[in-house]
């Protein structure tokens, strides 16, 4: 049985696409047949992060409208085996994603894939609701900052009332908190919400903490998901998150200031 995972947040620009690319790549690297779908109709981004922008011929909406088959639209990833990408449409018609259309495609994909990752657009409107509607699990991407935490809580409310699982009275959607752009130094100075604070407020299970890191930008510049930069802090943090998603019990890393940061704090700026 395929597992459908939505990567969602409410607030924009918090790291959903970065996360979708890395989680999907991590799952595929561990041998899981994975497909990642860009639900951000009109604003396609995932193809850039995964460096397949020039290979997009058909997109998600083309398949829904019967203008292309799934096989024609799925793009095979160049970095890892077992990974396919379904690009978002650049149409301006936001209602192009119908519930029936999305359901049909997900059902089809579920026949062959182990994991279906849905990269949600920002907001709590139609596009975001379509991305989360059929989810079995949700990765709620949150920055340690008031508006992001508040929006995450709203998204949790929608998952609990408007998802297919909620509507059918099935087991609720599994909720995972992924705290991204975390800066332990600023937390120590009292300038940034700590991971415990966010956990306490949202009251959901912590999947991982991704440090605020230059390596994310370096990776996106090159079109390589940061999880493949195995020497980077963010890459390792994503890798741990994938292991936890697969049920492994891993201790959280990068919550404290790295050693050299201590001396920098004492003697530097």
Partner 1 sequence: MSFFDYFKTKKQNTASIAKERLQIIVAHERTTRNQPDYLPQLQQELLDVIRKYVSIREEDIQVQLDKNGNCSVLELNVTLPE
Ligand X SMILES: Nc1ncnc2c1ncn2[C@@H]1O[C@H](COP(=O)(O)OP(=O)(O)OP(=O)(O)O)[C@@H](O)[C@H]1O
Binding site for Mg ion (CB under 5 A): 16-17, 45
Per CB under 8 A, 146 contacts partner 1:
yes
Residue 150 interacts, among ligand X, partner 1, Mg ion, none and using kind-specific CB cut-offs from 5 to 8 Å, with partner 1
Q: Distance (Å, rounded) from C-alpha 8 to C-alpha 261?
A: 32
- Over the window 170 to 189, marking each residue x when it contacts ligand X by CB under 6 A and - when it does not, the resulting string is ----------xx--------
Burial string for 137-150 (b: 16+ CB within 10 Å, else e) reads bbbbbbbbeeebbe
Return d(Cα 47, Cα 98) in angstroms, integer.
22
State whether the Cα torsion 84-170-97-19 is positive or negative. negative
Residue partners of 124: CB distance under 8 A and separation at least 6? 10, 151, 154, 155, 158
β-pair partners for 3: 115
Residue 13 contacts which entry, Mg ion, ligand X, partner 1, none (Cβ below 5-8 A, type-dependent): ligand X
The one among 34, 213, 232, 239 contacting ligand X by CB under 6 A: 213
Among 30, 150, 164, 252, binds partner 1 (CB under 8 A): 150
Site for ligand X contains 26 (CB under 6 A):
no
Of 29 and 181, nearer to ligand X (C-beta) is 181
**Mask 202-221, x = binds partner 1 (CB under 8 A)?**
x-------------------
State the nearest-atom distance from the C-beta of 39 to Mg ion, in Å: 9
Per rule CB under 8 A, is residue 169 in the interface with partner 1?
Answer: no
Q: Near ligand X by CB under 6 A, which window of 61-69, 96-104, 215-223, 257-265? A: 215-223
For the stretch 234-238, contacts whose Cβ atoms lie closer than 8 Å and that sit 24 or more positions apart, written own/partner, are 234/210, 235/22, 237/208, 237/209, 237/210, 237/211, 238/19, 238/22, 238/23, 238/26, 238/208, 238/210
> Closest CB to partner 1 among 43 and 166?
166
Other Cβ atoms within 10 Å of 13 Cβ, number = 11
Q: Which is nearer to ligand X, 52 or 165 (CB)?
A: 52
Minimum CB separation of residue 36 from partner 1 in Å reads: 30
Is position 68 an interface residue for partner 1 (rule: CB under 8 A)? no
Q: Does 190 bind partner 1 (CB under 8 A)?
A: yes
Q: How far apart are the first and last CA of the chain?
A: 53
């Amino acid at each position: 049985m395929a597992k459908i995972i939505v990567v969602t947040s409410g607030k924009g620009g918090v790291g959903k696409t970065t996360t979708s690319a890395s989680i999907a790549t991590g799952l595929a690297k561990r041998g899981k047949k994975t497909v990642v779908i860009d639900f951000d109709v009109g604003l396609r981004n995932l193809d850039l992060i995964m460096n397949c922008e020039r290979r997009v011929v058909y997109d998600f909406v083309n398949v829904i409208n019967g203008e292309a088959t799934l096989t024609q639209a799925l793009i095979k990833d160049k970095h890892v085996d077992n990974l396919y990408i379904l690009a978002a449409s650049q149409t301006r018609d936001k209602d192009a994603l119908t519930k029936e259309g999305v359901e049909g495609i997900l059902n089809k994909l579920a026949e062959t894939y182990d994991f279906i990752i849905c990269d949600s657009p920002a907001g709590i409107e139609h596009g975001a609701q379509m991305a989360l509607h059929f989810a079995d699990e949700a990765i709620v991407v949150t920055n340690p900052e008031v508006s992001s935490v508040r929006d995450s809580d709203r998204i949790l409310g929608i998952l609990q009332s408007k998802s297919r699982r909620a509507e059918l009275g099935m087991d609720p959607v599994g909720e995972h908190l992924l705290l991204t752009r975390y800066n332990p130094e600023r937390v120590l100075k009292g300038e940034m919400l700590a991971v415990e604070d966010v956990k306490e407020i949202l009251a959901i299970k912590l999947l991982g903490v991704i440090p605020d890191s230059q390596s994310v930008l370096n990776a996106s510049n090159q079109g390589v998901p940061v999880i493949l930069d195995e020497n980077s802090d963010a890459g390792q943090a994503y890798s741990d998150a994938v292991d936890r998603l697969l049920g492994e019990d891993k201790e959280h890393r990068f919550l404290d200031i790295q050693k050299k940061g201590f001396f920098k704090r004492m003697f530097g700026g």
